[in-house]
Amino acid sequence: MIHSLVAPRQILVGGGSLARLGEVLRQFGFSRPLVVTDPWMVSSGTIGKCLAPLNAAGMAVAVFSDTVPDPTDAVVEAGARVLRDGDFDVLVGFGGGSPMDTAKAMAILAAAPEGAKMRAFKVPAQADRAALPLVCVPTTAGTGSEATRFTVITDTETDEKMLIAGLGALPLAAVVDYELTFSLPPRITADTGIDSLTHALEAFVSRRANPASDLYAREAMRLIAPRLRQVWRAPDDAAARADMMLGATLAGLAFSNASVALVHGMSRPIGAHFHVPHGLSNAMLLPAVTGYSLNAALPRYAEAARCMGVAGAGDADQLAAAKLLEELRALNHELEVPSPAAWGIEEARWNALLPTMAQQAIASGSPANNPRIPEAEAIMALYQEAFRG
Ligand code: NAD
Kindly state if the Cβ of 96 falls inside 6 Å of ligand 1: yes
Region 55-73 average pLDDT: 96
pLDDT tens-digit series, residues 179-227: 999 999 999 999 999 999 999 999 999 999 999 999 999 999 999 999 9
Q: Does residue 160 carry a pLDDT above 90? A: no
Distance 97 CA to ligand 1 centre (A): 4
Band the pLDDT of 228: cuts 50, 70, 90: very high
CATH topology for 186-387 is Dehydroquinate synthase-like, alpha domain (1.20.1090)
Distance 2 CA to ligand 1 centre (A): 33
Question: Domain 10-180 has what CATH class?
Answer: alpha beta
Burial label, 236 (beta-carbon count in 10 A; 0-12, 13-18, 19+): exposed
In the chain, what are the domain boundaries? 10-180, 186-387
* pTM metric for this prediction: 0.96
CA 253 to chain centroid, in Å, comes to 11
Distance 188 CA to ligand 1 centre (A): 8
Kindly state if the Cβ of 166 falls inside 6 Å of ligand 1: no
Q: Which atom of ligand 1 is nearest to the CA of 40?
A: 11
**To the nearest whole percent, how much of the chain has pLDDT over 90?**
95
Kindly state if the Cβ of 192 falls inside 6 Å of ligand 1: yes
Q: Does residue 8 carry a pLDDT above 90? A: yes
User: Which has the higher per-residue pLDDT, 223 or 159?
Assistant: 223
Q: Which atom of ligand 1 is nearest to the CA of 185?
A: 20
pLDDT tens-digit series, residues 242-263: 999 999 999 999 999 998 999 9
